[in-house]
Amino acid sequence: MGQDFQSIKRVCIYGTGGVGGYYGGRKPRPSKKTNLKNVKLFYRPGEHLKAIQQNGIVLNTPGGNIKSVPTLATHDFNEVPAPDMILLCTKSYDLKVAVMAIKIRTKEKTVVIPLLNGIDIYERIRTDLESGMVLPSCVYLGTHIENPG
Q: pLDDT tens digits, residue range 102-114?
A: 998 899 999 999 9
Residue 145 backbone phi and psi in degrees, to 5:
-95, 115
Do you know the residue count of the chain? Answer: 149
Q: Cα separation of 123 and 121, whole Å?
A: 5
Let me know if residue 89 belongs to a domain: yes
pTM, to two decimals: 0.85
Q: Cα separation of 17 and 1, whole Å?
A: 32
Tell me which residue range forms the domain holding 46.
5-134
- Burial of residue 19, with CB atoms counted within 10 A of its CB: 0-12 exposed, 13-18 middle, 19 or more buried: buried
Q: What's the CATH number where 35 sits?
A: 3.40.50.720
Let me know if residue 54 belongs to a domain: yes
> What letter does residue 88 receive in the DSSP assignment?
E
Q: Cα separation of 58 and 108, whole Å?
A: 33
pLDDT of 130 above 80: yes
Q: pLDDT tens digits, residue range 19-29?
A: 888 888 886 65
Let me know if residue 143 belongs to a domain: no
Let me know if residue 147 belongs to a domain: no
Q: pLDDT tens digits, residue range 49-70?
A: 888 888 888 888 888 888 888 8
Query: How many domains is the chain partitioned into structurally?
Result: 1
| Average pLDDT estimate for 5-9 | 74
